[in-house]
């Protein structure tokens, strides 16, 4: 309601009689400008901080400034400039927020451009939130290296037209890469039909070994689905039809410390991994062929996987010295998720385990007997499973026969030296 003019006269008389006058705190323009500058500086600084609490502190600072102004006016009859500093501070605060949003979007776009093609969207988001900028160089990181390769790929190249080969590889690599990224893996590179990947970088993850083994099993399941699909497309694949419907993939994994980072030239580099443990992972993939297995991992990967979750069945294959290394490494085959194993497969693994015990004890006849029993229950059998030519039981039967004829001696420690990659 409008104040009657007579009330103005009353207020003047009351002020004169009481001797209480309103007083400005800042009398000159330079002081007011300094106050405005200080408010803008504080709120602007808070708006560009990346800390999650900075925005709330900025809002509370503005409310505190207004509250102090009203308190001084109500209790001490002091007038402090309010409108100009408040408007300037709020404007600066929101401008700072907008600038930071633009910077974050650019950083996100830069990271997506660098990592988006081989890292899942969730991992890219984590990298943006962490504020870590990509730079040339590497650091030692605990990871699990992952290698996969199509069996007898050169035969596909010979029989398929270039267009047909591209169609086949695009469908295959898309399906496998989708699984890789769903399981939080990082694609290092494609080498023709081969997939090179890692788990545990660029975002550290405690379960990297388990995720790599899980990925390997899921890829084998997907391979089966693809073979069933391609078996219905004889016309599409022509003379390569027989190979396509029998396609098999071998996978190798190893867990350890590797150098991981952006490596290459200053203006062109890739996020990759290097180190002896990476080479061993590649040997696992290529060495799986010697055991009739389609997944082979090191003992380090098995132990680390079981520490995360014990729902995958493994069988010991051998302790070997791979070409190019001097120290023996125990190798295992992940045979499937325990919940999915049939009774026959479980019996096969049990017989195989007993065969290994007798093999290591140099009881060649006992080992042969158990491996022969396991052979009949193997999940992959030549002539039954597409693309399969042998299996671990068949390989160990041949090994035992050789060992029986040429015993290794009493000092044998169960180590087998591989002569090829």
The predicted-structure confidence for 294-324, as pLDDT tens digits, reads as follows 999 999 999 999 999 999 999 999 999 887 7
**Whole-number percent of the chain with pLDDT over 90:** 52
Q: What is the CATH number of the domain that holds 304?
A: 3.30.70.1230
Both 260 and 188 in one domain: the answer is yes
Residue 301's domain spans which residues?
138-310
| 172, part of any domain | yes
Q: What is the pLDDT of residues 248-257, one digit of tens each?
A: 999 999 999 9
Domain boundary residue among 63, 98, 113?
113
Domain boundary residue among 264, 294, 310?
310
Number of structural domains (the chain) is 3
Both 252 and 367 in one domain: the answer is no
Instruction: Name the region of 295 (left: φ>0; alpha: ψ -120 to 50; beta: rest).
Output: beta
pLDDT over 60 (residue 398): yes
Both 57 and 155 in one domain: the answer is no
| 295, part of any domain | yes
| 376, part of any domain | yes
DSSP class per residue in 149-173: EETTHHHHHHHS-HHHHHHHHHHHH
**Whole-number percent of the chain with pLDDT over 70:** 73
pLDDT at 32: 57
| 221, part of any domain | yes
pLDDT over 80 (residue 277): yes
Domain boundary residue among 113, 129, 164?
113
Q: What is the pLDDT of residues 317-374, one digit of tens each?
A: 999 988 777 789 999 999 999 999 999 999 999 999 999 999 999 999 999 999 999 9
**C-alpha closest to that of 115 among 181, 208, 171, 214:** 181
**DSSP code at position 313:** E
Both 269 and 182 in one domain: the answer is yes
| 329, part of any domain | no
User: What is the distance between the alpha carbons of residues 242 and 233, in angstroms, rounded to a whole number?
Assistant: 11
**C-alpha closest to that of 354 among 366, 338, 337:** 366
Q: What is the pLDDT of residues 216-259, one digit of tens each?
A: 999 999 999 999 999 999 989 888 888 899 999 999 999 999 99
Both 79 and 177 in one domain: the answer is no
pLDDT at 105: 73
Better-predicted residue by pLDDT, 414 or 354: 354
User: What is the distance between the alpha carbons of residues 333 and 318, in angstroms, rounded to a whole number?
Assistant: 10
Both 107 and 144 in one domain: the answer is no
Choose the most confident range, by mean pLDDT, from 28-32, 65-69, 92-96, 283-287.
283-287
| 396, part of any domain | yes
User: Are 33 and 85 a contacting pair, CB within 8 Å?
Assistant: no
pLDDT at 21: 58
Better-predicted residue by pLDDT, 331 or 61: 331
pTM of the model: 0.73
Both 160 and 284 in one domain: the answer is yes
Q: What is the pLDDT of residues 94-152, one digit of tens each?
A: 776 777 777 677 766 766 666 655 565 666 666 666 655 555 567 899 999 999 999 98
Helical H runs in 49-187?
54-76, 83-115, 121-130, 153-159, 162-182
**C-alpha closest to that of 290 among 331, 259, 327:** 331
Both 153 and 266 in one domain: the answer is yes
Residue 131, classified by CB atoms within 10 Å of its CB into exposed (0-12), middle (13-18) or buried (19+), is exposed
pLDDT at 270: 78
Average pLDDT taken over every residue of the chain: 84
- For residues 406-415, average pLDDT: 89
Both 145 and 264 in one domain: the answer is yes
pLDDT band for position 66 (cuts 50, 70, 90): confident
Both 92 and 178 in one domain: the answer is no
CA distances from 49 to 40, 44, 90 (A): 14, 9, 16
Of 61-70, 153-162, 382-391, the poorest mean pLDDT is in 61-70
pLDDT at 299: 98
| 315, part of any domain | no
| 266, part of any domain | yes
pLDDT at 12: 72
User: Are 238 and 156 a contacting pair, CB within 8 Å?
Assistant: no
Both 288 and 379 in one domain: the answer is no
Q: In this structure, what are the phi and psi dihedrals at residue 136, rounded to the nearest 5 degrees?
A: -75, 130
Both 46 and 93 in one domain: the answer is yes
């Amino acid at each position: 309601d409008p104040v009657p003019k007579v009330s103005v006269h009353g207020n003047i008389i009351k002020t004169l009689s009481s001797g209480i006058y309103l007083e400005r705190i800042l009398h000159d323009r330079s002081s007011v400008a300094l106050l405005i500058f200080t408010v803008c500086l504080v709120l602007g600084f808070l708006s560009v901080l990346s800390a999650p609490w900075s925005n709330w502190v900025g809002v509370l600072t503005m409310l505190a400034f207004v509250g102090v102004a009203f308190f001084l006016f109500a209790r001490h009859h002091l007038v402090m400039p309010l409108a100009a500093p408040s408007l300037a501070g709020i404007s600066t605060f929101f401008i700072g927020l907008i600038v930071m949003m633009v910077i974050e979007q650019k950083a996100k776009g830069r990271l997506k451009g660098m990592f988006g093609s081989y890292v899942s969207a969730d991992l890219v988001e984590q990298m943006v939130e962490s504020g870590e900028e990509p730079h040339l160089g590497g650091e030692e990181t605990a990871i699990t290296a992952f290698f996969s390769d199509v069996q007898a790929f050169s035969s596909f190249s010979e029989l398929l037209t270039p267009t047909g080969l591209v169609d086949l590889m695009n469908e295959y690599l898309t399906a496998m890469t989708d699984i890789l990224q769903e399981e939080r893996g990082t694609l290092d590179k494609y080498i023709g039909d081969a997939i090179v990947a890692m788990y545990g970088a660029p975002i550290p993850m405690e379960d990297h070994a388990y995720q790599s083994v899980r990925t390997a099993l899921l890829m084998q399941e997907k391979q089966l689905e693809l073979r069933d699909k391609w078996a219905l497309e004889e016309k599409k694949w022509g003379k390569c039809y027989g190979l396509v419907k029998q396609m098999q993939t071998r996978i190798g994994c190893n867990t350890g410390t590797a150098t991981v980072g952006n490596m290459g030239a200053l203006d062109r580099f890739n996020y990759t991994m290097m180190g002896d443990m990476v080479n061993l992972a590649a040997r696992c993939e290529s060495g799986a062929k010697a055991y009739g297995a389609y997944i082979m991992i090191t003992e380090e990967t098995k132990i680390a996987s079981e520490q995360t979750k014990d729902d995958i069945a493994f069988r010991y294959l051998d302790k070997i010295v791979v070409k190019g290394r001097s120290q023996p490494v125990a190798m295992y085959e992940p045979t499937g998720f325990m919940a999915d194993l049939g009774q026959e497969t479980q019996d096969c693994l049990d017989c195989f385990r007993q065969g290994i015990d007798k093999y290591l004890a140099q009881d060649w006849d006992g080992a042969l007997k158990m491996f022969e029993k396991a052979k009949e229950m193997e999940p992959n059998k030549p002539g039954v499973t597409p693309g399969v030519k042998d299996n671990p039981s068949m390989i160990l039967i041949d090994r035992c026969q050789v060992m029986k004829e040429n015993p290794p001696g009493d000092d044998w420690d169960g180590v087998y030296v591989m002569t090829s990659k």
